[in-house]
Amino acid sequence: MIKFWLTTTLFWIGCLSATAQQNTIKVGLQLEPPNLDPTSGAAAAIDEVVYGNIFEGLVRINENGDVEPGLALFWNISTDGRSYVFHLPEGVKFHDGTDFTAEDVRFSFNRARAAGSSNAKKYIFAPITNIDILDPLTIMITLDQARPDFLFNIGLGDAVIVAEESVSSNASRPVGTGPFKFDRWVRGDRIELSRNVDYWGPAPRLSRAIFKIITDPLSAYTALMAGDIDTFPNYPAPENLFLFDQDPAYEVFVGLTAGETILATNNKNAPLNNLNVRKAIAHAINRDELINGAMFGNAAPIGTHFAPNHPDYVDLTGLYPYDLAKAREYLRAAGLPNGFEVSLKLPPPTYARRTGELIANQLGRIGIKAVIENLEWAQWIDQVLRNRNYDLTVVSHVEPMDINIYANPDYYFGYDNAEFQQIISDIDKSTDAAVTSELYKKAQRKIADDTVNGYLYQLGKYGVWKRGVRGMWANYPIRSNDLRDVYFEGSE
């Protein structure tokens, strides 16, 4: 009898603590956001916490990278593609109780495009010529010309809607319209959000969300194993992912990010300015070896600068297959049969260091001596990105749909090609979806033919969560952990 009572009591205690816990999700993050204002600076870690949770834009990008209605319920686009009329929902309030109206949209966009704005993606707003408030819940935005990517762009974290009343403190106490509101930030440890009970849309199912900052990859493993956190949406240690895969208490999902990992090449430096040399390098790269060696098999090969899950993606991985004989032939054609020496400057992320070491070895097979230099991010940005003082580097370009960077002759690739620049400017003008799609394909082929950079693999998103956690994003078309649809199976 005593045994019976003991077991039943224990059973109920177990149930109680289980249900009490299951409304709060603890999410592991490797990088702490420097501040929580997504409209200034470009740290991806900011969007990982606030995008879709605290702040919303007129439109929202979902986990497949598609544009969905956000703070605009619907919109009309004029036939010339230049003006957009957005219809806003009624009764939406910011977390501090102030009303959301068309005024806030105008304020947010004007602030982002103003002279002296520190918005990292100011170019999104550059085409805007007029912002007209038709009534408090209707706003018309006019562009200089048709811009098919405008809708997607205003779905990015840099274009979320902020209120004039709270904008100055958004960096430390963000106030948005989203399904979760900011509670507190214990710097270096965690950021706490709770359900916005006045949310204008469908109420989120979680009552609280805690983002725990865990920088050390091994600690990410132990924190999950010890039950300190429920999920690590972008698990930092691919080398031990299999341990969670084998454990029935966890689920692993290898998704895609918008991060094209490339062997970025300084096209202005001899001998890399020679197409034959770049082709030799392309043939010397063994993508399978890189993906297995550096990413433990969890990444998709790419042959150009485009996300492989995008409908317009062209598979160009077969253009320059791993072929050392051909690579040597191209080196001879370039007049460098014995190879040469180049610098290979690597930024700190593990993927870059591991991939760089393997590439140095692969290039060594055709006589190219790549001298590795490990840099911190700040040094890398200074030397490689700003001053183009490098030959080769390995880096992941995580911005979505960023093939247009190749049209900027001052970018660190040093690629100045009139034909490619024309393609991008045609894309900017095109209003026909089929034409745009063809142009994107043409752009991908152009940079692959010219082997501007070595195209390696798409960085994976390694999602680990406890069994029963549902609704986490599988992919990172943009860096976001939108928690509105997340719940614990069986807790409701």
Partner 1 sequence: MGRFLLKRFLSLVITLLVATVIIFIMIEIVPGDPAAYMMGLSGSTEATEALRAELGLNMEPWQRYFSWVSGMITGDFGISYTYRIPVSELIIERTLVSVPLTVYALILSTLIAVPVGVISASLRGRFADTALMGIAQVGVAVPNFWFAILLVLLFSTSLGLFSAGGFPGWDAEFFECLKALTLPAISLALPQAAILSRVMRSSVLEVMNEDYIRTARAKGLSKRQALLRHGLRNAMIPVLTILGLQFSFLLAGGIIIESIFSLPGLGRLVFQSIAQRDLIVVQSIVTLLVFAVVMITFIVDLLYAWVDPRLREGG
Residues in contact with partner 1 by the rule CB under 8 A? 32, 34-35, 40-44, 116-123, 171-172, 186-190, 212-216, 218-219, 222-223, 225-228, 348, 376-379, 381-383, 385-386, 395, 397-399, 402
Closest CA to 265 of 414, 387, 381: 414
Q: State the minimum distance, in angstroms, from the CB of residue 431 to partner 1.
A: 26
Identify which of residues 402 and 450 has a Cβ nearer to partner 1 in the complex.
Answer: 402
Nearer to partner 1, 92 or 209 (CB): 209
The answer, yes or no, to whether the previous bond of 271 is cis (omega within 30 of 0) is yes
Shortest Å distance, C-beta 375 to partner 1: 10
Closer residue to partner 1 in complex, CB, 332/386:
386
Residue among 61 and 254 whose Cβ is closer to partner 1: 61
Q: Write down the least CB distance from residue 227 to partner 1, Å.
A: 7
Minimum Å gap between C-beta 327 and partner 1 is 29
In whole angstroms, what is the distance from residue 427 CA to residue 435 CA? Answer: 8
Nearest distance in Å: CB 223, partner 1: 5
Element (H, E) at 364: helix 350-364
For tokens 């205690």, name the residue.
Answer: 13
Name the residue nearer to partner 1 (CB basis): 323 or 399: 399
| CA distance linking residue 55 with residue 100, whole number of Å | 12
Residue among 8 and 215 whose Cβ is closer to partner 1: 215
* Cα 23 to chain centroid, rounded: 27
* Nearer of residues 265 and 362 to partner 1, judged by Cβ: 265
Q: Which helix (H) or strand (E) holds 474?
A: none
Dihedral, CA of residue 262, residue 267, residue 270 and residue 273, to nearest 10: 110
Give me the least distance between CB of 469 and partner 1, in Å please: 18
265: which strand partners? 392
Rounded to whole angstroms, the Cα distance separating 298 from 329 reads 32
Asked if residue 47 lies in contact with residue 166, where contact means CB atoms within 8 angstroms, the answer is: no
197-201 long-range contacts, CB within 8 A, separation 24+: 198/93, 200/89, 200/91, 200/92, 200/93, 201/484
Nearer to partner 1, 103 or 402 (CB): 402
Torsion of CA 19, 21, 24, 25, to 10 degrees: -110
**Which helix H or strand E contains 55, and what residues bound it?**
none
The least CB distance from residue 385 to partner 1, in Å, is 6
Closest Cα to residue 337, out of 271, 239, 273? 271
13 or 474: CB nearest partner 1: 13
The least CB distance from residue 49 to partner 1, in Å, is: 14
CA dist 321 and 314 (Å) reads 16
Separation between Cα atoms, residue 268 and residue 413, nearest integer Å: 8
Taking the complex as a whole, the smallest distance from the CB of residue 270 to partner 1 amounts, in Å, to 25
- SS3 assignment, position 111: helix
